[in-house]
Chains A and B, each alone.
Chain A
Amino acid sequence: MLVKPVAIDIVSELLLHLRLCIKDLAHFRISCVGNPYSKMDNHVLEPSLYVIKGIAILDNDGKRILAKYYDPNTLSTAKEQKVFEKNLFNKTHRANTEIIMLENMTCVYKSNVDLYFYVMGSNHENELILVSVLNCLYDSISQILRKNVEKRSLMENLDVVMLALDEICDSGIILESDPTAISYRVALRNDDIPIGEQTVAQVLQSAKEQLKWSLLK
């Protein structure tokens, strides 16, 4: 090294000072970074049919029974989803108050016996749209399970419940919001639906089939 000793002195003093400053600054910044909400809010909602970010059904331990997340940018990994569900369950299982904001999403929910139903949307989303989807989810499952909305019965009919979920929401777009139409589409055997909730066409269809069977016998 050819540096004059005096210059080295100054440089090392500067480096010391620099280190002090950097440390102070680092502590200063800690509270500023790592903030999950760094996106600025949008003024006007972009018109889009992709309104649902996720639908989940949890049991009374907060364990997932079924869950679907539709937005590739939010909660895309199974791990993130599990953490979110745990958090969501902890915040909602005690107070049944229908709506909560969590991790930049609006979540509407409903529970019965040992089941918790959740519908998630962006925090700018019209809350009533989300509620309408939640109601549709709950009512169609209630029809499928013949008003017996509890975990055991849901697990026994898991295949049909999966189909119903698929009929309600397709990759984030609301596909259907009428519970009767849903339970019809998931191909319930017609006699499963109470007669009062059947459409005329359905009644005719089942009558026809019964006639056919009686002739075959």
Chain B
Amino acid sequence: MMGMKRDKKDEEDASGGNPFHNVEKTAVLQEARIFNETPVKARRCTHVLTKILYLINQGEILGTTEATEAFFAMTKLFQSKDVVLRRMVYLGIKELAMIAEDVIIVTSSLTKDMTGKEDTYRAPAIRALTAITDNTMLQAIERYMKQAIVDKSPAVSSAALVSSLHLFKTAPEVIKRWVNEAQEALNSDNVMVQYHGLGLLYQIRKTDRLGVTKLVAKLTKMPLKSPYAACHLIRMVCKLIEEEESAGGEVTTLMDYLESCLRHKSEMVIYEAAHAIVNLRRTGPRELAPAISVLQLFCSSPKPALRFAAVRTLSNVAMTHPAAVTACNLDLENLITDSNRSIATLAITTLLKTGGEASVDRLMKQIASFVSEISDEFKVVVVEAIRSLGLKYPRKHSTLMSFLSGMLRDEGGLEYKASIADTIIAIVEDNPDAKEAGLTHLCEFIEDCEHTSLAVRILHLLGREGPRTKQPSKYIRFIYNRVILENAAVRAAAVSALSHFGATCEDLLPNILVLLQRSQMDTDDEVRDRATYFYSVLSRKQAALNSQYILEGLQASLVTLEKALLNYVQHPSEAPFDLKSVPLAPVIEERHVAPTGQLDGGGSRATPASVAAPTATRLPATATRQDVYIEKLSAIPQFDSFGPLFKSSAPAELTESETEYVVRCVKHTYAQHMVLQFDCTNTLSDQLLENVNVAVEAPEGFDILVSIPCDKLEYSVLGTCYVALSLPESVLSSTGTCSATLKFTVKDCDPTTGQPDSDDGYEDDYVLEDVEIGVSDHIQRAAKASFGTAWEEMGSTNELQETFSLPAIRTLDEAVRNIISFLGLQPCEWSDKVPEGKSAHTLLLSGVFRGGFEVLVRSKLALSPEGGVTMQLSVRSGDPEVSELVASAVG
């Protein structure tokens, strides 16, 4: 009795919830045997087939044998006339085509269906056939496909067009022959056929700009019925505008067309046009106005997707043209309370970008009211908006800081917390007034921070900035708390931070020494190592040791240092290891890049993606460039005797970018030598260059040692040739100009195969722009955490002082940028940022001259009353000649 009851209940459950609830792979494949029975039981077969497809869709994986068996059983079902079953067989073919073997067996059945009378079969049969076709079979069905494209049934025509698009990836040559059929489809009355026809036609013509231009010119005159096709056309027009722009062509008619699309009857097309106009590079305020007013209208649409689309585009415009969006402020304010939190967030961040300083407080209050309800991704967007706000309105830092610290205390993932910490750090670095408050907030945050990596970063920052605040002692407590409470990684970082305080603040030193002594008892070896190391350095009480071993850290490139050490251990020598033989790591330009990149990198839609992207790509890219050069140069035996590579310059173009031959020059500096690397590209497809070298006329004092030519330069393949110079004995004459000429043997060749027509060639040359060797090529950037200490330590033995007036330079900012790029030194202590409204500024620079001489430069700048900038330059270095060279370089 009980059993029966339960059975009944089970049955009800199964049918009531999900008939496929207990479907199991092996059982279903067993059931598939029913396919082989004749006559075909259509209903049951359909059910079993549905089960198989359902399983595959749930992510169940069929083995090749299983799939092939099922596939062959399925082919029997072609005997049935049941419509649904036949359609399910097509679906099955498409699903199994990738897994099963010998699927081409159904080709004839499908071809029969696609050319048959039954309309309901023809379209899906074409699409199923596409899934199993390969290039060889395509020839056989080409005739049918062409007929199908121009078929009077829209379903068949669409299916054939879409299938052609899929096939285009593998067999473009065949599909290109169907251009006339595609053209005819474009004139179809059916909207979808028109859309698919346009898609195929564009795909075929894509690489032929003239063809696209003609197509666009024709289509912009005749109204397209399908809104999808209109959207596609707008994208084609945009691409064409970008291409014409870069080629210097005329785009007014195209722009007019885009504007006319703003009056289309379909919202989809209107939005597409507005979005397109906003994203074009050439768009100025005049073109923006109509697009913005359309988007403004969408902001009050009842459809959430439309509001979302509009506000997202507006927030994007706000990055590049904040003034243009100001007109929408009222509409955006209404969206702050939108039930879709994504829309509300975007509205607020847009307002933050466009609004004035006065509205900041009010907006921040509004954000605070719902920030807990939005997803982390959008919180990051909000934080980014606050960051740019902090840079824009430095006076608002207290409001922003307290808001950020509130956000720090809320729940959130690592990425979100990291972006807040980044923002606080950015504001602290940018705005001295905010420093104390920011550091205090960060201190409070690490009291209760579960992310080790974040805590380590903040401790590092505290170690760097804390000692230079008014009251360094108050940070010690926070840092030492970490030593007591946290895991090993954080403890180690805290010990390092403490040592910075010890090295900088003499009055705190005894306390720090006590703390470090305690840390020597730590359970973790890393923490003990650090504590012992710092304790022994600090207890000597020598400023030089402190700055060298604690404040500065290691400046050599870690990867190369590791290689050098390994090499030293493997090939022991009498001489001690020389740290100066290891090239310095190029200083990575990381601060301030993110926020500015955000502001002027606009044009793309605002997404969390664009926010985080710069941080992710920067570090590895710069770290490897130098390593790549080292790898390449060390492979050339002639350069072995030069010693380790000191510095590689950024590539400089020696030709215009659109000429026959494109040459770029990279200067590699060694202790006593310089290698000029010429990267050449041949842009003529009918020429093969052989024995390519660059003839250089070296300036006085330089000697050309060796020139390594490039054997062969094929069309658009990068070739490299080198010229090695020895540098003059006297440091003072190590700058100059080399004139350069590209010399080569030309052979005419067949553009398609690249084979030369004959073995005869003729000599030719090509004059390049001069290669300038400047002071910056001899100097590697190296940051000093504490410039003052280093300056004192260096002493005034090799000091030189000169005063210059720079009449051509208008602002202090410009002067700072020029000096940095000219000398190739690293600005220290953020002295490259000129506070607004000041008329005098001191720029502190440091670096290393080839041969390992440290160079420090202090440059006092003042705006002179009669226009221009006056500069007093003081140079200190380890060598009198180096000082002289650097001082004379500016004049």
Chain A residues in contact with chain B, CB under 8 A? 1-4, 6-7, 10-11, 14-18, 20-25, 27-33, 35, 37-49, 64, 66-68, 78-79, 81-82, 91, 95, 97-102, 104, 108, 123-124, 126-132, 151-152, 155-156, 158-160, 162-163, 166, 170-171, 173-178, 181, 185-187
Contacts and interface: CB of A to CB of B under 8 A. Distances in A.
A156 B604 contact: no
Interface string B827-863: 0000000000000000000000000000000000000
19 contacts: A3-B573, A7-B577, A11-B569, A23-B526, A32-B615, A37-B613, A68-B57, A82-B59, A95-B341, A98-B305, A127-B271, A128-B272, A128-B309, A131-B303, A131-B305, A132-B268, A166-B91, A176-B158, A187-B83
Given A18-B561, A129-B228, A155-B18, A186 B87 contact: yes
Interface in B39-93: 46-47, 49-50, 53-54, 57-59, 61, 83-84, 87-88, 91
Interface of B: 16-20, 46-47, 49-50, 53-54, 57-59, 61, 83-84, 87-88, 91, 94, 120, 123-124, 127, 155, 158-159, 162, 165-166, 192, 195-196, 199, 202, 228, 231-232, 235-236, 238-239, 242, 267-268, 271-272, 275-276, 279-281, 303-306, 308-309, 339-342, 375, 377, 414-415, 418, 452-454, 456-457, 460, 489, 492-493, 496, 526, 529-530, 533, 549, 553-554, 558, 561-562, 565, 568-569, 572-577, 579, 603-605, 607-610, 612-613, 615-619
Contact of B339 (A28, A95, A155, A159): A95
Given A31-B414, A38-B613, A162-B50, A49 B88 contact: no
Given A126-B231, A129-B231, A162 B88 contact: yes
A28 B59 CA distance: 39
Nearest to A41: B604
Contacts of B91: 162-163, 166
B457 A177 contact: no
Q: Which 9 A-B pairs have the closest CB atoms?
A: A41-B604, A78-B59, A37-B609, A97-B340, A47-B235, A49-B199, A30-B453, A27-B456, A128-B268
Contacts of B561: 14, 18
B34 to A, nearest CB: 16
Contact of B576 (A7, A30, A163): A7
Contact of A66 (B57, B377, B565): B57
Given A7-B576, A171-B166, A49 B309 contact: no
A50 B558 CA distance: 45
Chain A CB within 10 A, most for which of B489, B554, B562 = B554
Given A20-B496, A24-B456, A163-B87, A175 B162 contact: yes
A159 B46 contact: yes
Nearest to B310: A127
Contacts of A156: 19
A37 B342 contact: no
B187 to A, nearest CB: 18
Secondary structure of the B side of the interface?
helix
A91 B375 contact: yes
Which one of A29, A81, A176 has the greatest number of beta carbons of chain B within 10 Å?
A176
A20 to B, nearest CB: 6
A64 B272 CA distance: 32
Nearest to A21: B554
Nearest to A68: B57
Given A27-B457, A31-B454, A127-B309, 20 more contacts: A4-B574, A11-B565, A16-B529, A16-B533, A37-B608, A41-B609, A43-B279, A49-B196, A66-B54, A95-B340, A97-B341, A101-B377, A102-B377, A126-B309, A127-B308, A158-B50, A159-B88, A185-B123, A185-B155, A186-B87
A158 B54 contact: yes
Contacts of B572: 1-3
Contacts of B196: 49, 173
A88 to B, nearest CB: 11
B611 to A, nearest CB: 8
Given A127-B305, A156-B19, A185-B123, A104 B609 contact: yes
A18 to B, nearest CB: 6
A171 B95 CA distance: 12
Contact of B605 (A38, A78, A124): A124
A180 B234 CA distance: 28
Given A11-B568, A11-B569, A173-B162, A43 B281 contact: yes
A89 to B, nearest CB: 14
B576 A101 contact: no
Contacts of A43: 242, 279, 281, 603-604
Contacts of A11: 565, 568-569, 577
B526 A39 contact: no
Nearest to B377: A101
Contacts of B242: 43-44
Contacts of B202: 47
Given A95-B341, A187-B83, A23 B565 contact: no
A99 B346 CA distance: 13
Contacts of B577: 7, 10-11, 14
A66 B342 CA distance: 27
Contacts of B306: 127-128
Contacts of B529: 16, 20
Contacts of A18: 554, 558, 561-562, 565
Nearest to B54: A158
Contacts of B607: 37, 41, 101, 104, 123
A24 B496 contact: yes
Nearest to B309: A127
A29 B619 contact: yes
A15 B308 CA distance: 55
Nearest to A59: B18
A155 to B, nearest CB: 5
A126 B613 CA distance: 22
A45 to B, nearest CB: 5
A44 B87 contact: no
A155 B228 contact: no
Nearest to B492: A23
Contacts of B377: 101-102
Contact of B418 (A31, A127, A155, A166): A31
Contacts of A162: 50, 53, 88, 91
Contacts of A99: 304-305, 308, 340, 342
Contact of B615 (A35, A39, A104, A174): A35
A24 B373 CA distance: 35
Nearest to A66: B57
B610 A41 contact: yes
A3 B166 CA distance: 67
A199 to B, nearest CB: 13
Contacts of A124: 605
B493 A24 contact: yes
Nearest to A186: B87
A125 B241 CA distance: 19
A176 B565 contact: no
A98 B339 CA distance: 11
Given A18-B562, A128-B268, A163-B84, A49 B120 contact: no
B576 A10 contact: yes
Given A14-B577, A27-B456, A159-B84, A123 B609 contact: yes
B165 A14 contact: no
Given A99-B308, A185-B155, A170 B609 contact: no
